[in-house]
């Protein structure tokens, strides 16, 4: 079984897609062993609790320095002994040491077709605002491995989504989630878990 730890910051709809995928068999050979949020009020934590998954808040507000927060985050993750870490709307810049501890073992979902609308400052609704401002007709989502750069790691899966006349950032965000994120994130985890089985 692939042991997966999911890191979240907000609503947790991608986390829910993973929970549902494990439950309905779309994600095979996988156990979500923990959910970690940097935001203690995140609805994602409630989703984890409802699913009976151990959930933890590691907030920078509870630490004197960024270094202390980073070490607490790494310690919590290591306790959960993950084979794979999934960043599902985790809006924290990862400590470099964490990335080095888990090479090609951390994946992220980004709400655009990388290399468009990605990198520093592009997260959440801002990505869709930028896409609408630029006037693209197609956008989408990307699952990629996490390396030391921002959204620069090897791409695993992408799915395109149409931009429609009259779209607002909120409407576009919802369509990208429904048609792309909630599809390719579970699919990527399933593929990694199945590959692991035949190794
Ligand atoms: C998702 O759209 C995810 O792709 C995005 O944040 C949202 C989290 O929603 N992540 C990024 O922008 C990372 N750069 P959720 O909490 O409902 O899954």
pLDDT in tens, 52-78: 999 999 999 999 999 999 999 999 999
Q: Atom 14 of ligand 1 has which residue's CA nearest to it?
A: 123
Q: Is 14 in the pocket of ligand 1 (CB under 6 A)?
A: yes
pLDDT at position 159: 98
Nearest by Cα to 21 from 194, 195, 167: 194
Nearest by Cα to 71 from 50, 97, 48: 97
pLDDT digits 0-9 by tens, 119-163: 999 999 999 999 999 999 999 999 999 999 999 999 999 999 999
Q: Which of ligand 1's atoms lies nearest the C-alpha of 42?
A: 16
At 199, the pLDDT band (50, 70, 90 cuts) reads: low
Longest dimension (CA), the chain: 48
CB burial class (10 A; 0-12, 13-18, 19+) of residue 97? exposed
CA of 103: how far to CAs of 51, 121, 185, in Å? 29, 24, 19
How far does the centroid of ligand 1 lie from the alpha carbon of residue 111, in Å? 7
Q: Is 140 in the pocket of ligand 1 (CB under 6 A)?
A: no
Catalytic residue among 19, 48, 109, 110: 110
pLDDT at position 130: 98
Q: Does the reported pTM lie above 0.75? A: yes
**pLDDT exceeding 90 applies to what percent of the chain?**
98
3-state secondary structure of 83: coil
Computed on alpha carbons and rounded to an integer, the radius of gyration of the chain in Å comes to 16
- The number of beta carbons lying within 10 Å of the beta carbon of residue 109 is 25
- 128 belongs to the catalytic site: no
pLDDT digits 0-9 by tens, 13-62: 999 999 999 999 999 999 999 999 999 999 999 999 999 999 999 999 99
pLDDT at position 36: 98
């Amino acid at each position: 079984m692939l042991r997966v730890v999911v890191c979240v910051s907000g609503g947790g709809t991608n986390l829910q897609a993973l929970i549902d995928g494990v439950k309905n068999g779309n994600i095979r050979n996988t156990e979500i062993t923990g959910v970690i949020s940097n935001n203690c009020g995140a609805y994602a934590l409630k989703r984890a609790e409802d699913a009976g998954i151990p959930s933890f808040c590691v907030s920078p507000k509870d630490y004197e320095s960024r270094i202390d927060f980073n070490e607490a985050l790494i310690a919590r993750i290591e306790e959960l002994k993950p084979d794979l870490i999934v960043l599902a709307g985790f809006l924290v810049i990862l400590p470099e040491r964490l990335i080095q501890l888990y090479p090609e073992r951390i994946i992220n979902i980004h709400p655009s077709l990388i290399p468009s609308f990605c990198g520093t400052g592009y997260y959440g609704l801002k990505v869709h605002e930028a896409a609408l401002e630029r006037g693209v007709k197609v956008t989408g989502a990307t699952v990629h491995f996490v390396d030391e750069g921002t959204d620069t790691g090897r791409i695993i899966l992408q799915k395109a989504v149409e931009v429609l006349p009259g779209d607002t950032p909120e409407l576009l965000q919802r369509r990208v989630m429904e048609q792309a994120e909630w599809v390719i994130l579970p699919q990527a985890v399933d593929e990694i878990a199945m590959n692991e089985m035949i190794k």
